[in-house]
Amino acid sequence: MEKSFKVIKGDITQQKTDAVVNAANKTLLGGGGVDGAIHKAAGPMLLAKCVTLGGCKTGEAKITPGYNLPAEYVIHTVGPVWRGGDYNEHQLLADCYKNSLRLAEEYRLSSVSFPSISTGAYRFPLPEAAKIAVREIGKFLQTSKNVKEIYMVAFSDSAYLTYKHAPKE
Ligand code: AR6
């Protein structure tokens, strides 16, 4: 099968890919935005599992079942809080995409959906975040063996257009 990267508009909790990525915080114990929506849709078993994980560092990723979600797995990653750009935020955001995809590959998943990590409560500027996401996903797909289909699930028209037009390099 051909590999593909598609930008779509939608709700991450509705995606039927093998995994959906959660824009979590370091506690992994839930929150607002994508995190709140994923926990609500997955049900209380997800929180019960997350409690056992001991949190997650910024830029890293951990995997759990998806419970009541259509997706089989949730990959939880912690994006950087934007503090002006001089605190390694770009590298840490790239690490979120790399480490999430590395886990998906390790679990032999073929399809993964991402939300726009760090661009809500964590205030990472959207155009820069989109450039990093598109670049890292593109690089990863060049060498992945199991992961073949990646979706960026934009929640708003403006996010959709920004990802759609983000430079590929
Ligand atoms: N599906 C897809 N995208 C969504 C959805 C959804 N259901 N809901 C919101 N978005 P955010 P962050 C978009 O704040 O910036 C949480 O409290 C949203 O419009 O969810 O990484 C965590 O616990 C925005 O563009 O994640 C952390 O404390 C993007 O998803 C903190 O927020 C990300 O917004 C993480 O902040």
- Below-70 pLDDT ranges, the chain: 169
Kindly list the domain boundaries of the chain, sorted by start residue: 4-164
By alpha-carbon position, which residue is closest to atom 33 of ligand 1? 120
What CA–CA distance (Å, rounded) separates 116 from 131?
11
Domain 4-164 has CATH 3.40.50.970: no
How far apart are the C-alpha atoms of 39 and 13, rounded to whole Å?
A: 9
* Ligand 1 atom nearest residue 119's Cα: 15
Kindly report whether the global pTM for this prediction surpasses the value 0.90. yes
Q: Is the CB of 115 under 6 A from ligand 1?
A: yes
